[in-house]
Amino acid sequence: MISAACVGAWVVQRVQARARIELQTRLTCEQVAIRLEEAIRARIAVAEGVRELIQVGEADSEVAFRHAVLAQQARFPGLLAVNWIDPKGLIRRVVPGQPNRSALGKDLTRHPVAGAIVAGVQDDGKDRFSPPIDLYQGGRGFTGYLPVHRQGELVAILNPVFRIPTLVEPILKRGDLTEVYSIALSGSDRPVYESLLAGSADWAIERDFRVGDRIWTVALRPGPRLLAAAQTPLADLAGLLGILAAAALAYLIRAQQRASAERAELLLALERRQRLETIGTLAGGVAHEYNNHLAALLGFNEIARISLGNDDRAQVQDCLEQTSAVIERSRQVVEQILTFARRREHVVRQVRALPVLEEIGKLFRTTLRPPIRFAVELDLDPEVVVMGDSGRLHQVLTNLITNASQALPPEGGSVALRARTRELSAAEATRLGLEEGLYLEVAVSDDGAGIPSEVKERIFEPFFTTKDQGTGLGLAVTHGIVQDHKGEIAIDSEPGQGTTFRVILPCLRRELEQETSRASDPGQATVLFVEDEALVQTMVQTLLRKEPYELLTAGSAEEARALLQAESSIQLVLSDERLPGQSGLELFDWARAEGLELPFVLMSGAPSLTEDALLAKGFVGLLRKPFSAQQLKDAIAEGFEAPSSVSPPA
């Protein structure tokens, strides 16, 4: 009986030990899978970020592409390279060049694995990933295939290349996992990595995770150290504590992943919804302004008609000048609204603060009507630069100024926009949760009723509002955008004393590079004007008839290419964006491929194009339609003053 009881107790103990080890291994395997999935996603995000830059025209050239990749690649071990595959399947660029140059020029359509993947991407335009393969650069790894489309056409396939050991080993060595477990990693049922320990258990715990469209599996087998530790007298307590700690860590990692994803999605949704609401708020002011413009145009047209009958040429001339001024004001209003309403990807770059603030000032001088008084005071150097997204900064200031105007009583009041740079002391920086240094401070003030202290405490909460018709989105979105820009918002307000919101953003203390002037004489030059619309051709030819340079006109990109190859005197190209066959952007790409480094100015009425994106691509300017004679001449003059060898900034 005693022997049987002892044997039974021994069996129970062994079963309990096996259960403890199995549970601990299961939780550890969960953690390893989460870490591997996070690490791979972070590296894929690098390629996705480069793709976004290409789609908006900011990483097309070889220099800009290399800079965009290298800026991120050094932060992520295991991301061996990002290749540029052309639509036919040839690897045209590799970054970094060493040790990846062996892949340059390879035709992936001939590769036994990559060929089918590239064909699939060409067919349906979806992201794809390879199973584990032998890399051209040597070693085992896997690759991604991310299509890049522009105007509905495939222009490239980005090809991030991952070397498995460099990616996996830093993760597995945390907590000495390779000394406790035998670890195997496989993708699409193909083994890709193994770290084995003699004497490991004959059973394994497996956990699947996803890499793009592929399923990968990590398998852990307890090693001899873990098996031996489970038999010690303190194994129960140590095992229990280890299991609890592992479970807690796995839960926290998952919760953090969910919270981060949910926060990003919520902020994006709030931004979009709030942007539409703000446009609705501005619509009344814009409609009022346009009605004024239309009334002025009708009036001047009637005066001009009467003056023609009286042969009063001076009065007719005055009416035409006034009409041109009204049309220009209307164009500016449209451009300002489109700048705010434009939906685009968030792109962080160096942004000059002064033009953004001046644009906001122009917008609200138009939309804020009496009895509201609007003042702008910008004590700012033109070269002050912040890192951010100019469209989102527009949205921050638009929200604050709109809120300030709505805080005023029916009899009106004052709203002011002020900006300056200042040093934050250590004490103030600590209080705001920022670092000591140079900051841009933009203040939006009103002389309304002020904000009670109990409201200030909740003012940035989503959906909290004191307005009868409010949604509580504006300030929540504003606060989120400013924090994304590594800044903060401070509120100065007391009941009956008005309110000031101060947006504080870190700025760069540097002078922007000055370009050297082009030493060309416009009087000896030829401008190639590319435009398919006959009326616009005639108008531009008439406006430039007396200018000191020759004007050649082409009606398509094909005609422009022929003239560029035949006429060596052409020193500047002014091209419309939308042309028959190839676009103006594609004409630019062709010229650069042919080694023609002459300046290009692009004309466009499309709100999706930004001057920042075109300058990054290598253009010297953007001329928005409609344009005046002076704007046309200024764009050409600035083109002649551009550097003689135009290339995107490195």
Q: Select from 404, 389, 415 the least CA-distant residue to 482.
A: 389
Q: Select from 464, 479, 379 the least CA-distant residue to 419.
A: 379
- As a whole number of angstroms, the distance between CA 572 and CA 550 comes to 11
Cis peptide bond N-terminal to 99, omega within 30: yes
pLDDT tens sequence across 488-534: 998 898 888 899 999 999 987 544 333 333 334 445 678 999 998 88
Report the mean per-residue pLDDT for the chain.
76
pLDDT value at 97 more than 80: no
pLDDT tens sequence across 421-448: 998 888 788 778 788 888 999 999 999 8
Give ranges for CATH 3.30.565.10 in the chain.
268-508
Among 105-119, 331-345, 473-487, name the most confident range. 105-119
Burial class (CB in 10 A: 0-12, 13-18, 19+), 111: middle
Tell me which of 258 and 540 has the higher pLDDT.
540
Phi, psi dihedrals of residue 318, rounded to the nearest 5°: -65, -40
Question: What band does 648 get if pLDDT is binned at 50, 70 and 90?
Answer: very low
Mean pLDDT, residues 225-247? 56
What pLDDT sits at residue 514?
38
Phi, psi dihedrals of residue 356, rounded to the nearest 5°: -65, -45
Question: What band does 628 get if pLDDT is binned at 50, 70 and 90?
Answer: confident
pLDDT value at 631 more than 90: no
- Strand, helix or coil at 645? coil
Mean pLDDT, residues 202-219? 86
pLDDT tens sequence across 166-181: 778 877 776 678 888 8
Distances (CA, A) of 472 to 271, 398, 460, 465, 502: 12, 15, 8, 5, 19
Question: What band does 284 get if pLDDT is binned at 50, 70 and 90?
Answer: low
Tokens describing residue 376:
């702008």
> Domain 1-231 falls in which CATH fold?
Beta-Lactamase (3.30.450)
- Say if CB 604 and CB 624 are below 8 A apart: yes
- As a whole number of angstroms, the distance between CA 93 and CA 629 comes to 42
Question: What band does 543 get if pLDDT is binned at 50, 70 and 90?
Answer: confident
Mean pLDDT, residues 89-95? 88
Mean pLDDT, residues 273-282? 50
pLDDT tens sequence across 109-141: 888 888 899 999 888 888 888 888 888 777 788
pLDDT value at 248 more than 80: no
Distances (CA, A) of 177 to 39, 74, 80: 17, 25, 24
- As a whole number of angstroms, the distance between CA 57 and CA 232 comes to 64
- Say if CB 415 and CB 446 are below 8 A apart: yes
Question: What band does 75 get if pLDDT is binned at 50, 70 and 90?
Answer: low
**Residue 265 corresponds to which amino acid?**
E
CA 358 to chain centre: 23
Distances (CA, A) of 116 to 113, 148, 353, 618: 6, 18, 48, 35
Q: Select from 88, 42, 38, 48 the least CA-distant residue to 68.
A: 48
- As a whole number of angstroms, the distance between CA 502 and CA 493 comes to 11
268-508: which CATH number, 3.30.365.10, 3.30.565.10, 3.40.50.720, 3.40.47.10?
3.30.565.10
> Domain 522-640 falls in which CATH fold?
Rossmann fold (3.40.50)
pLDDT tens sequence across 2-48: 444 444 444 445 556 677 788 888 888 888 888 888 778 877 877 88
pLDDT tens sequence across 311-336: 778 877 877 777 776 676 666 556 55
Within a 13 Å sphere around the CA of 613, how many CA atoms are in the beta-carbon half? 20
Region label for 450, one of left (φ > 0), alpha (ψ between -120 and 50) or beta (otherwise) = left
At what angle are helices 390-406 and 353-367 packed, to 10 degrees?
40
What pLDDT sits at residue 524?
60
- As a whole number of angstroms, the distance between CA 306 and CA 296 comes to 15
The answer to which of 364-373, 411-420, 606-615 has the lowest mean pLDDT is 606-615
Tell me which of 491 and 464 has the higher pLDDT.
491
Q: DSSP states of 514-545 as a string?
A: PPPPP---GGG-EEEEE---HHHHHHHHHHTT
pLDDT value at 307 more than 60: yes
Give ranges for CATH 3.30.450.350 in the chain.
1-231
Burial class (CB in 10 A: 0-12, 13-18, 19+), 211: buried
Q: Which residue is it, tokens 């021994």?
A: 10
pLDDT value at 464 more than 50: yes
Among 23-37, 89-103, 271-285, 405-419, name the most confident range. 405-419
The answer to which of 30-34, 243-247, 408-412, 473-477 has the lowest mean pLDDT is 243-247
Query: Which residues, 6+ apart, have CB-to-CB distance to 355 below 8 Å?
Result: none
pLDDT value at 211 more than 90: no
Q: Select from 575, 568, 566 the least CA-distant residue to 524.
A: 568
Give ranges for CATH 3.40.50.2300 in the chain.
522-640
* The overall pTM is greater than 0.75: no
What share of the chain has pLDDT > 70, as a percent?
74
Residues in the chain: 650
